Structure 1
Amino acid sequence: MASPLTSSTGLGSGLDITNIVKVLVNADTAAKSNQITRQNANNSAMISGIGSLRSALTAFQDAMKKLNDKDAPSFNAFAGTSANESVVKIKSSNTAVAGSYDIKVGQLATGSKVASQQFAGGASTPISAGEMTISQNGKDYKITVGSGATLQSVRDQINKEMSANGITANIINEAGGSRLVFGSTTTGAGSDISVGGIPELTIDGTQQMSGSGAGFITALAQDAKFSIDGLNLTSASNTVSNAISGISLELTGASPKDSAGNITSGTKVTVAADNEGLKKSVQAFVDAYNTLQKAVTSLTSTSRDSKDKLVLGPLTNDPTTRALLGDVRKVLAETGAGDKLTTLSQLGINTQKDGTLEFNSVKFNAALNDKKLGPEVQELFTGSNGVFERMNKAIDPYNSTGGTLDTRKGNLDKVATNLANQQAALDRRVEMLTTSLTKKYSALDAALGKMQDQAKQITSFFEAINAQKKS
């Protein structure tokens, strides 16, 4: 912006040069200045509105993602409970059947733990160069050990190259020296680790460590042994997903045993319908959608100010926002690919006049209790071509990086830059006109001053002549 005019009065004629110049400059630039101010306000409001809309869309998509978390799945029709989670934990899916089971765990599945021979030199012990072979479950993994290697550098190389395969190594220091110890996340009988190729690091993982020699440390890798209602089973993993249909078991510890090693009691696990859990999940979706709808309404609605003047929202009458809202609302009315449950309305979810969703709990309970639709709720929301998938397909073209709203924001930023350039040019014109007009009116003031001085001299001359005549 140009520097403001300081008050200035003509020394010659007494003209108010400052105000005269200000009025003339304002007359020349006011229209353009008002236009830039108005366009700036509108453009800034649009930028803010687009940002708020994208934030609301992102929050809605994050809420759907959370409800579709594979590690903590929502919309489960059944809930499993365990009487003792230190022995077994349970997760149920929509293919489960209500019931209870008695589970006894004899032993957990374990992984291989093997150690090299002792090295008196500790971590800095030199290791021969060559190709190390680490074998497990019939697979061989090759590691090239370079010259100048030490026990510690070999450990670091193993962890770098083998961690993706679940095999790690560390150095354990004991009284007689240091050992390179291998461990694995793979469990089950037959998964013992063996090492070859480097003479001093050779380990037969099927032989127990003895004295300063190499071998397995405590025991061979083993399967889990457990029973369900008296039926004996084994598993290479402590996570068992195929023993009971629709139920996943996580074995966490052995059942209590007497002095003779016999299990004294089992753990009861129960599977039951979880209508309240389903209702909570559906309500979470309805709440997330309503939050989005209310945010869009606040951006597109109109209001009246204190003078009853109509005030538009930042995105009122915006065609992109209208198209987005139409695409999202279309998903709510579409028919999904389910069997008996294909629409949200079957669960008591309906659109109200203000665009928000109403969740009718009476109709929802009837759908679960009378029509037995509980097992299909998860598929309706999270399945292939489910509500979440179709919602994201509707929103992504607008909210993704490089999408419609991103492009709109970029164009609005260009307009803001252009307006800033126009304002800078207008400021320069104001400064130029102010300087030019000030010079002109200063010159005019000086000329008027001279004319006034001459008029005074003439008047004095004639007054002197008249005075002589009278005398």
Structure 2
Amino acid sequence: MAGSTVSGIGSNIDTQAIVKSLVDAERVPKQTQINTQSLKATTTLSSIGKIQAALDAFRGALTSMGTDSSFTGLTGSSSNEKVATMTAGNGASNGSFSLVVSQLASASKISTKTFAGGASSVVNSGTTPTTLTISQSGKNYDLSVPAGATLQQVRDSINSQFSTSGLSANVLTDSTGSRLVLTSTNMGVGSDITLSGNSGIDVGATVVEVPKNAKYTIDGSIALESKSNTISEAVSGVSIKLLSVSPKDATTGDFTPTTIAVSTNSPVIKSGVKGFIDTYNALVKAISAETKVTMGADGTPTAGALTGDASMRTLMSSIRNELNSMSGSGTLKSLAQFGVSTDSTTGLLTLDDKKWDKAVATNAADINSIFSGDNGLLKRLTNATEGYAKSSTGTLAERSKTLSDTLTDLAKQQASLDERMTLLTTSLSAKYTAMDSLVAKLRAQSDSIMTTLNALNNPKDS
């Protein structure tokens, strides 16, 4: 073969090159198909994953917005934050009220007798474990006190075993010795702690503090009580945290009321709407990045992995339909009426500040009704994307599974192709080796015959 590398011992023909060429000719069509399909499946799977992550983030933000006061625009204030602070949530409305706190809620606290040996005093000098039973609100918590246990070890065991049940223990030490003090995080009348059992630790225990209810009045009404210093049921949508008893007037001796007020804060509402716009735009950008056609430096268009994808078009159509639908119970029922518009080129939302300021000046309350409730925008967008976002049965999850299965199948095809080409290489190599050996034998025979003939044609002189 002209131009080939000599490798055949007998034939002087590059048999390895011939074998490689034949194997490559057999491999290339199938290898090209596998490579093309693998690249497409991998790229598409990556794009689906990015959109799945963006959609999950979008839906998570919708949930957060639905549980906080992003769109109520209501803020709370207290005239004396040393007495009480407050937070306005869903269900709150504008208004103010007068609060007087005459007593804070407190927890039960009980102390053991004093152990002269301090925190290292042995409280179980026997050879077998004993039991300390701590009772509260009808529940018993049994603590095993092993032989040789010290007061400090009992304290540590209580905290490690019962802290999630609202119990805590400390060792207080003075010149007379140490004592174990148990306190409850549960407050209010009826949450008393008592000690019993056969450990002896309960003997001589004394009550340090009796649990009490918080006592207060709102707008001078009848006395109210709470087992906690956090009050959430007294005023709709308002959570009040009591911090101290109301101060008394030096002249009259009467409690000085604290004014708790709820008012609309337009900047807070605007911040909530801008937060929604940012969240929405992040999803649109993520989808656009995977579906748009980009132009290269040479003007050649390059399609995204999901360009023209029907499911992406359907997803965005569902979202936009809900965005453009009218909702709410107020005078203004759409975001467009508050200055929120969609860019015709990018699909991103923008806010016209002038139009916003004009609309919110008289219709601020309408924003909350547009977003909140079972028919609000947040709920409707969540429902519209549900079919795509389900972790195992959603459209995106199923497509990801299909693409993963495709890649697994292609990997099997690649392994099969590699095995087949290895066998073909072995087979062809054996055949060409045999051919080369045969040519070598024939050439040797030819050389022998030519030698004989040459001898006959050139006889020696007698």
- Provide the TM-score with structure 2 as the length reference: 0.79
The residue aligned with 2:62 is 64
Shift of 1:163: 5.1
Residue 117 of structure 1 pairs with residue 109 of structure 2: no
- Cα separation, 2, equivalents of 1:18 and 1:365: 81
Matched residues, number: 448
Q: 1:120–1:449: structure 2 CA closer, same or farther, 3 Å change rule?
A: same
Taking structure 1 as reference, are residues 468 and 161 closer, same or farther at Cα in structure 2, changes over 3 Å only?
Answer: closer
* CA-to-aligned-CA distance 1:182-203 (integer Å, 9 cap, x gap): 3223334x34615265488798
The answer to whether the 8 A contact 2:329-2:370 is kept is yes
Aligned AA for 2:46? S
Q: Aligned residue for 1:446?
A: 437
Partner of 2:411: 420
SS for the counterpart of 2:183 is strand
The aligned counterpart of 1:330 is: 321
Please name the residue that 1:368 is paired with: 360
1:78 aligns with 2:74: yes
User: Are 1:436 and 2:437 an aligned pair?
Assistant: no
Distance 2:368 2:432 in 1: 82
1:140-166 Cα shifts (integer Å, max 9, x gaps): 223456796877787677667865653
Quote the offset at 1:440 in angstroms.
1.8
Greater displacement, 395-404 / 90-99 = 90-99
Distance change in 2, residues 1:133/1:464 (3 Å): closer
In structure 1, distance between residues paired with 2:191 and 2:33 = 79
Q: Partner letter of residue 378 of structure 1?
A: N
Distance 1:51 1:124, change over 3 A: farther
Check whether the contact 1:97–1:271 (CA below 8 A) recurs between aligned residues: yes
Q: Is the 8 A contact 1:49 1:299 kept in 2?
A: yes
1:14 matched to which residue of 2?
12
Give the aligned partner of residue 409 of structure 1.
400
Structure 1 position 317, deviation (Å): 3.3
Cα distance in structure 1, aligned partners of 2:257 and 2:23: 94
Per-residue deviation at 1:341?
5.5
Please give the alpha-carbon distance, in whole angstroms, between the structure 1 residues aligned to 2:199 and 2:410.
75
* Structure 2 CA distance for partners of 1:451 and 1:115, relative to 1, 3 Å: same
Structure 2, unmatched stretches of 5+, are none
Distance 1:468 1:133 in 2: 128
Tell me the equivalent position of 1:134.
135
Q: Secondary structure of the residue that 2:7 maps to in structure 1?
A: coil
Residue by residue, what CA displacement relative to the aligned partner does 1:72-116 show, whole Å, maximum 9, x if unpaired?
A: x32232222345534432222465555666766565433222223
What residue is the counterpart of 2:266 in the other structure? 275
Q: Residue 33 of structure 1 corresponds to which residue in structure 2?
A: 31
User: 1-side partners of 2:255 and 2:372: how far apart?
Assistant: 43
Partner of 1:209: none
Separation in 1, partners of 2:170, 2:153: 11
When structure 1 is superposed on structure 2, of 458-467 and 23-32 the one drifting more is 458-467
Q: Aligned residues: percent identity?
A: 33
Pair 1:406–1:245, CA change in 2 (3 A)? closer
Distance, in Å, in 2 between the alignment partners of 1:438 and 1:223 is: 94
Question: What does 1:154-233 correspond to in 2, within 5 Å?
Answer: 166-188=166-188, 190-191=189-190, 193-195=192-194, 197-198=196-197, 213-217=204-208, 219-224=209-214
Structure 1 residues 447 and 43: CA distance shift in structure 2, 3 A: same
Q: Give the aligned CA root-mean-square deviation in angstroms.
A: 4.2
Partner of 2:51: 53
Q: Matches of 1:352 and 1:265 in 2, distance apart?
A: 56
Q: Give CA deviations for 1:18-51 in whole Å, capped at 9, x if unaligned.
A: 2211111112221111111111111111221121
Structure 1 gap ranges (5+): 1-6, 204-211
The alpha-carbon distance between structure 1 residues 422 and 308, as it changes in their structure 2 partners (threshold 3 A), is: farther
